[in-house]
């Protein structure tokens, strides 16, 4: 299926062949950037990068991707600078912006908000994160990172640790990895467990799932995906104070488990990975963040019908 004009809203919408095609184009983009630095694939395109929630890596990597493809970005980097502050609906905002650009990248706090915009416009929409819903581009760059670090996506044991209830990155990653025959270890406090529909959905797909509160169980995996306890998702400060710091991965813990485990994190970290882990060869989280540019270049080029062949 052609990606031209297609929305990228959730990893549930992508099958195994889609994912492999995206990763193949991502590798080509990485190689091209290393030789040419800036391409001209989208030199006649304008891309809206609309971020109504705080972001560093996702926003900057999307803007970098736009520039490296030769396109021009128009940027909203703060909800306070948009008409959302005046009560404008997402659909109306989308209809307005679609008249200016060839593609819309959107991050906003409403679960399913990216689909609201996609349903209202006729240009491709890429979801840069929708509240506690999904974050498909993060999951895809995570797959690209795992593929580079482990040499395969097939049959891996992957542990996800921390805030699995509100963590849109782990929701998306679960669905994205499912076609590759993984085994999942979901490690979280009872209050922050992976939502039951995702757990049951994985089991219905034949994916073995272990739920635990013990990080020692997670350290036996091939890949450990740490997440922060997200203060901004809590309605009660007391609950956040009680749960923050539930898991802290340090060098001693890593060395007590599977020493070849690939350590990932969508960033930003707070205190859930100690700085003494950073120098380990298998600490991949900064490489992971850098891979976001190539992945987002691939998606932008694909939906605009201009991918490298």
Written in H, E and C, the secondary structure of 3-65 is CCCCCECCHHHCCHHHHHHHHHHHHHHHHHHHHHCCCCCCCCCEEEEEECCCCCHHHHHHHHH
The encoded tokens of residue 42 equal 């989208």
- Structural domains of the chain, ranges and CATH numbers in brackets: 11-134+291-303 (3.40.50.1370), 136-288 (3.40.50.1370)
What is d(CA 41, CA 27) in angstroms, rounded to the nearest whole number? 16
What pLDDT does residue 143 have?
Answer: 98
Residue 240: band (very low, low, confident or very high) from pLDDT cuts 50, 70, 90: low
Helix axes 113-120, 90-98, angle to 10 degrees: 50
Residue 137 designated active-site: no
Closest CA to 218 of 229, 207, 209: 209
- pLDDT tens-place string over residues 87-112: 789 999 999 999 999 999 999 989 89
- Give pTM, 2 decimals: 0.92
Strands 125-130 and 157-161: unpaired
Has 135 been annotated as catalytic? yes
Mean pLDDT lowest for which of 33-47, 123-137, 282-296?
Answer: 123-137
* pLDDT at residue 229, rounded to an integer: 81
**What pLDDT does residue 299 have?**
98
Decide if 161 contacts 188 (C-beta within 8 A): yes
Q: What is the pLDDT averaged over residues 299-308?
A: 93
Confidence of residue 232 (pLDDT cuts 50, 70, 90): low
Active site includes 287? Answer: no
Q: For 204-292, where are the E strands, in sequence order? A: 209-212, 223-226, 262-264
Kindly state the helix (H) or strand (E) to which residue 115 belongs, with its residue range: helix 113-120
Among 10, 11, 26, 58, the one annotated catalytic: 58
User: pLDDT-based confidence at 79, cuts 50/70/90?
Assistant: low
Marked catalytic residue, from 107, 115, 171, 265: 107
Reply yes or no on whether 210 is catalytic. no
Q: Which of the following is catalytic: 35, 80, 86, 235?
A: 86
What was the pLDDT predicted at 291? 98
Counting residues of the chain whose pLDDT is more than 90, the rounded percentage is 79
Based on the residue annotation, tell me whether 6 is a catalytic residue of this protein.
no
Summarised one tens digit per residue, pLDDT across range 181-209 is: 999 999 999 889 999 999 999 999 999 99
Out of 135, 168, 171, 296, the active site residue is 135
């Amino acid at each position: 299926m052609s990606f031209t004009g297609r929305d990228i809203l959730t990893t549930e919408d992508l099958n195994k062949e889609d994912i492999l095609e995206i990763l193949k184009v991502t590798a080509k983009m990485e190689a091209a950037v290393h030789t040419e630095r800036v391409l001209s694939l989208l030199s006649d395109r304008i891309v809206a990068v609309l971020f109504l929630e705080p972001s560093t890596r996702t926003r900057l990597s999307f803007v970098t991707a736009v520039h490296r493809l030769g396109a021009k970005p128009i940027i909203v980097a703060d909800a306070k600078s948009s008409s959302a502050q005046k009560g404008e609906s997402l659909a109306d905002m989308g209809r307005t912006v679609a008249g200016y650009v060839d593609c819309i990248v959107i991050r906003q706090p409403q679960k399913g908000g990216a689909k609201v915009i996609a349903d209202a416009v006729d240009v491709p929409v890429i979801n840069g994160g929708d509240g506690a819903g999904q974050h498909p581009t993060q999951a895809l760059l995570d797959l690209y990172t795992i593929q580079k670090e482990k040499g395969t996506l097939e049959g891996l044991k992957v542990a996800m640790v921390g805030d699995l209830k509100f963590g849109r990155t782990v929701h998306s990653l679960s669905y994205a990895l499912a076609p590759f025959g993984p085994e999942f270890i979901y490690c979280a406090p009872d209050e922050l467990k992976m939502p039951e529909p995702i757990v049951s959905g994985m089991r219905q797909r034949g994916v073995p799932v272990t739920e635990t509160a013990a990080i020692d169980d997670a350290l036996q995996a091939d890949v450990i995906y740490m997440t922060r306890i997200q203060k901004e998702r809590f309605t009660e400060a007391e609950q956040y104070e009680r749960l923050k710091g539930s898991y802290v991965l340090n060098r001693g813990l890593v060395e007590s488990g599977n020493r070849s485990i690939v350590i990932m994190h969508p960033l930003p970290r707070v205190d859930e990975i100690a700085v003494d882990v950073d120098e380990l060869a298998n600490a991949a989280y900064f490489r992971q963040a850098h891979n976001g540019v190539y992945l987002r270049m691939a998606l932008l080029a694909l939906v605009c019908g201009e991918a490298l062949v």
